[in-house]
Amino acid sequence: GISSVCTPLDAECRGLSSFTVALWLWVNNVTAGAATPTTFFTTRATNCTNGPYEMMLRMNTNKVRMMSTGNTTSWTSVDTTGAVPGPNQWFHVAYVITPAGVTAYINGQPAGTSTAAAMKTTLLTPPDRPLGDFGFGFGHYHLATPQTGQFTGRLDDVRVYGRALSQAEVQQVIDTADALPDLRVAGGATLAAQGATNTVRTLSGEGYVSGALTVLDRVSAGDDAGTPAGATLMAEQVTLAPDAV
């Protein structure tokens, strides 16, 4: 994209020490190193301020990187231990921050933790930032980011919770996401999945899916109601999420 979103700071967000950032992310490649155009979430108000109590989330090749100043004026960076599924597909990223440290999730699965001092002292925004000023934003690395420095992938369903979500709650966010479609193949048709991989919530119906497909929730032949006897649903390459059935 070539646009970004900024939210004004309110009293509920200011100085939070336990919170969760969750969102759906689409990146165009997994080869670009960490840089300003790979940053997709930030609480950094201006360039070169360096906190304290500012944070950013960005891509670093095929890993997600969290950067935080904590209670200092220098950045600490921590990459996920797990890699994202790949480019040109939707995947879910969640960061749970508490005074005990940071836990990252990719598609609901643990993808690394950190108890570095800066991570343990991360706040959603500085406790003394004036209400109504910049709170947090996505699609850029600070409030005044020029268009050339903005995030070039896609974002959807960005959520900030004022508490630490459990892994089960992160998974529930994924399972109930409106951003993912339910795919139904009708009447024995053949469907060609577009792009390297597609991610859907459910797959059902009768027919054949060519190409690669990732299903996060459920695969079932026929329909939930009135399923014809002997309905056959085939797919060339299906990857099931850990909790899919």
Q: Are 216 and 183 in contact (CB under 8 A)?
A: no
For 125-135, write each residue's pLDDT tens digit: 999 999 988 88
Edge-to-edge strand list for the sheet holding 154-161:
109-114, 101-106, 91-98, 19-26, 154-161
Q: What is the pLDDT of residue 1?
A: 43
Average pLDDT for residues 204-230, to the nearest whole number? Answer: 71
Q: Where are the domains of the chain?
A: 5-175, 182-240
For 104-156, write each residue's pLDDT tens digit: 999 999 999 999 999 999 999 999 999 988 888 888 877 777 777 888 888 88
Residue 19 has pLDDT above 90, yes or no: yes
For 172-199, write each residue's pLDDT tens digit: 999 887 656 677 776 666 666 655 457 7
The more confidently predicted of residues 84 and 225 is: 84
**CATH annotation of 5-175:** 2.60.120.200
Distance, in Å, from the CA atom of 129 to the CA atom of 224, rounded to the nearest integer, reads: 52
Q: What is the pLDDT of residue 6?
A: 78
pTM above 0.75, yes or no: no
Distance, in Å, from the CA atom of 159 to the CA atom of 178, rounded to the nearest integer, reads: 13
55 pairs with which residues across the strands?
Answer: 68
Residue 62 has pLDDT above 70, yes or no: yes
Give φ, ψ of 176 to 5 degrees.
-105, 10
